[in-house]
C-alpha cells in the first residue's frame, strides 16, 4: 500500500556547500539518500514529494566542519501487507516457482502456491503453462497475486505470494 508520509532525516553537509546553494544541495542530498531506500517500518521510499522544512544547521563537534540539518519531508512510501493484492511483473521463473516484482518489491510465488493445473515447462524459456495451454507465466508476464507472507529487513522486503485464489493469475503476456 502507498502512503504519503511525513518523515525526518538528519543530513550531514560538508562545509563547502555553505553558500547560496545550500538549500538546493540539501534537497539533492536528501533525494539521493532516501529515494530508493527501504525501511523496515515504512517500506520503500519511492519518492520525496515535498520538503516541508529544513532545520537550522548544527555544526558537528568532531572537527570535520560538517553541519547537520534535520529535514522534514513528505515522501511516497510503499509498504506491502499480508493479504494485499498486487499487480506484478514476472522477472524469473524456475521449477520452484517464480519471482515477480512490483516496483522495488520482490515477491516469490512458490509452485505450491500456483494452481495445480499450471505445469512447469523447462523447454525453451522456463515457464508455467496451464493444462489447456492458453495461459503461460513466463518472464515478463503480468501477474496479479496476493501477498501471503512478508519478511521485512532493515534494508529489504521480501514477500511470498499466491495466485491460487479467485481473481488472481495472469493479466497479460510479455510485451
Partner 1 sequence: MSGSGEDDLNDQLEDEEEDERPNSAPATGKGSKRKAVQQFFDDAADEDDEEEEEEEERGAGGERRHKKRSVFIDDIADVDDDEEEEEEDEEEAGDLIDDQDTVAEQAERSAADHAQFRQLNRQQEEKSAEEIARHIEERYKAMEEGGPGYEDEDMLTGATGAVGQQAMLPTVNDPKLWMVRARAGHEREACIQLLQKSYNMQRKGTPILIKSAFALDHLKEYVYIEAEKEAHVRDAIRGLRTMFVSKGVRLVPLSEMVHAVTVNRTAKSTIARGTWVRVRTGLYKDDLAEVVDVDAATNRAVVRLVPRLDLQAMASRAQDPEARKKNPFGRVGPVRPPARAFNPEEARELALLVTRVPGVDGQTYLQLGSNRFISGYLEKAINLRSLTPIDGAPPLEDLQRFKACGMAADENQMAGGADGDLSSLMAALPSGVAPKTHFVEGDLVMIVKGDLKNLEAEVETTRDDGKVMVRPKVQDFNEAVDFDADELRKVFKVGDRVRLISGTYTGETGMVLQMQDNDQCIVISDTTKQELKVFGRDLTRSDEPDTGVETLGEYQLHDLVLLDQSTAGVIIQIQRDAARVLTSNSTPGLHDIRVVRSADIQRKLHAKNMVTTDTSMNKIRTEDLVNFNMGGPHSVQNRSGTVKYIWRGMLFVKGKEFLDAGGFEVVRANKCKLRGAPSNNADLARIVASGSHGTPMRTPQSPGHGFTSRTPTMYAPASPGNFAPAARVAAGATTPSNPGGFPAPGGGFPPPGGYPPPGGRGAGPMRPPAAGGFGGRGRGAGLNSLIGRTIRVRGGQYNGYRGRVKHETASHVQVEFDAISNRLITVERRLCHDEATLTAPRPMAAPSQGPPRGVPGGFSAPGGFGSRGGASVPGGFGSRGALNGARGADYGGAGAYPQTPLHHSMTPMHPSMTPAHPSMTPAAAPYTPMHAPTPTPGDDNDFMLGGASDYQVKKGIECRLF
Contact residues for partner 1 (CB under 8 A)? 12, 14-17, 21, 24-25, 28-29, 31-33, 35-37, 40, 64-65, 82, 91-92, 94, 96, 99, 106, 108, 110, 112-113, 147-154, 158, 160, 162
Q: What gap in Å lies between CA 125 and CA 138, rounded to an integer? A: 7
Half-sphere exposure of 75 (CA within 13 A, CB side): 27
User: Measured from the CB atom, is 37 or 49 closer to partner 1?
Assistant: 37
All cell numbers assigned to 89: 511483473
| Cα–Cα distance measured from residue 90 to residue 112, given in angstroms and rounded to the nearest whole number | 17
User: Least CB distance from residue 133 to partner 1, whole Å?
Assistant: 25
Complex with partner 1: residue 137 or 157, whichever CB lies closer:
157
Strands lying side by side in the sheet with 127-130: 118-121, 127-130, 136-137
Nearest distance from residue 149's CB to partner 1, in Å?
Answer: 3
Give me the DSSP letters along 109-165. EEGGGS-TTEEEE-SSS-EEEETTSS-EE-TT-EEEEEEEEEEE-SS-EEEEEE--S
For partner 1, the closer of residues 74 and 108 by Cβ is 108
Residue 89 Cβ vs partner 1, minimum distance, rounded to whole Å: 14
Cell numbers at 75, concatenated: 515522501
Which is closer to partner 1, CB of 132 or CB of 154? 154
Choice between 134 and 167, CB closer to partner 1? 167
User: 31 in helix, strand or coil?
Assistant: helix
Shortest Å, Cβ 71 to partner 1: 15
- Min dist CB 154 to partner 1, Å, is 6
Amino acid at each position: 500500500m502507498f502512503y504519503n508520509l511525513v518523515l525526518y532525516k538528519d543530513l550531514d553537509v560538508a562545509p563547502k556547500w555553505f553558500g547560496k546553494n545550500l538549500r538546493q544541495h540539501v534537497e539533492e542530498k536528501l533525494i539521493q539518500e532516501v529515494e530508493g531506500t527501504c525501511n523496515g517500518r515504512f517500506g520503500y521510499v519511492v519518492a520525496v514529494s515535498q520538503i516541508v522544512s529544513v532545520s537550522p544547521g548544527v555544526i558537528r563537534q568532531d572537527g570535520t566542519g560538517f553541519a547537520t540539518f534535520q529535514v522534514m519531508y513528505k515522501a511516497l512510501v510503499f509498504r506491502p501487507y499480508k493479504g494485499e493484492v498486487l499487480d506484478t511483473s514476472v522477472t524469473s521463473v524456475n521449477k520452484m516457482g517464480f519471482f515477480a516484482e512490483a516496483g522495488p518489491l520482490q515477491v516469490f510465488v512458490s509452485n505450491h502456491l500456483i494452481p495445480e493445473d499450471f505445469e512447469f515447462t523447462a523447454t525453451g524459456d522456463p515457464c508455467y503453462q496451464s493444462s489447456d495451454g492458453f495461459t503461460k507465466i513466463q518472464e515478463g508476464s503480468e501477474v496479479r497475486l496476493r501477498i501471503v507472507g512478508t519478511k521485512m529487513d532493515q534494508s529489504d522486503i521480501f514477500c511470498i505470494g499466491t495466485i491460487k485464489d479467485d481473481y488472481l493469475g495472469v493479466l497479460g503476456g510479455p510485451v
